[in-house]
Amino acid sequence: MYPIDTIVRWLAIVAAGGIFIPLPALAQDDSTKFELTPFAAYRGGGQFEDKEGLVEFDLQESNAWGLILNGKVEANTQWEVLYSSQSTRVETAEAIPDEPDLDMDVEYLHLGGTYLFDGERVRPFIAATIGASRFGPQPSGFSSETFVSGSFGAGWKINLAKNLALRVEARGYATLVDDDSQLFCVSSDAGGACLIVLEGSFFTQWETRAGLVFRF
C-alpha cells in the first residue's frame, strides 16, 4: 500500500502535467452551489521551545487528512470551511521520563474564503482562513490546548467532469501562542506539572494536499 505522501506527490505531478496537455474543455456546472472535497495531505513543520530556550520540541512530518466545504458567493468567490487533522510525534526523548516520544494530534478548524481565477478546465485559486488549532497529546492525563490560527493557500482546481474536479494545493498555517502558555500539563494528587512553558510566538506548519471535488 502506498503512503499518503507518495499519492499526493503523484497526484500533483498528474495535475501539473494536465495543465499543459491539450484536452477538450470541461467547464464546471454553473448551477452547482456547493463543493465537498475530501483530501489526503502531507504536513511538516512545527516546533515548540521552552521559555528558557534550552529544549526544542519538534513535530515529525507525517500524513494528514481532512475535508473542505465550499459555497458559491459570486462567479469567482466562495466561502470555505476547512478541517485538517494530523497524527504525529514530538521528538524530544528527554521530555517525558520513561516515554521516548509524545504522540500528538494537531487539528485545524477554519472558516474563510477562496478566490478563483478565470479558466475553463483549469482554475488557479488562492484561499485564506482563520479559526482554531488544537493540540491533543495522546498519553492519558495530559491536557489538550486550543489557540487562534490562520492559513493561506494556493493551488489549482482541474475539472474532470461537470460535477467533479481534482484539487491540488499547498497551504501554510500559523498559530498564535499566548504569552507564558503552559502546554501539555498533567495533574495528580501530588500536584501538577507542565512539559513546556512558552513565550508568546507563532507555531507554523506547511501542508501539501490533493483531493477530489464533488459539486452539488
Q: For the chain, what are the domain ranges?
A: 4-215
Chain segment 150-178, per-residue pLDDT in tens: 999 999 999 999 899 999 999 999 999 87
Handedness of CA 130, 173, 66, 86 (dihedral sign): negative
CB burial class (10 A; 0-12, 13-18, 19+) of residue 11? buried
Percent of the chain with pLDDT over 90: 53
- Tell me if the pTM is above 0.75: yes
Which residues on neighbouring strands pair with residue 143, listed in sequence order? none
**What average pLDDT score do residues 89-106 get?**
68
Q: Which fold has domain 4-215?
A: Porin (2.40.160)
Asked which of 38-52, 92-106, 135-149 is least confident by mean pLDDT, the reply is: 92-106
Residue bearing the bigger pLDDT, 150 or 22: 150
Backbone angles phi, psi at 167, to 5 degrees: -110, 120
Q: How far apart are the first and last CA of the chain?
A: 31
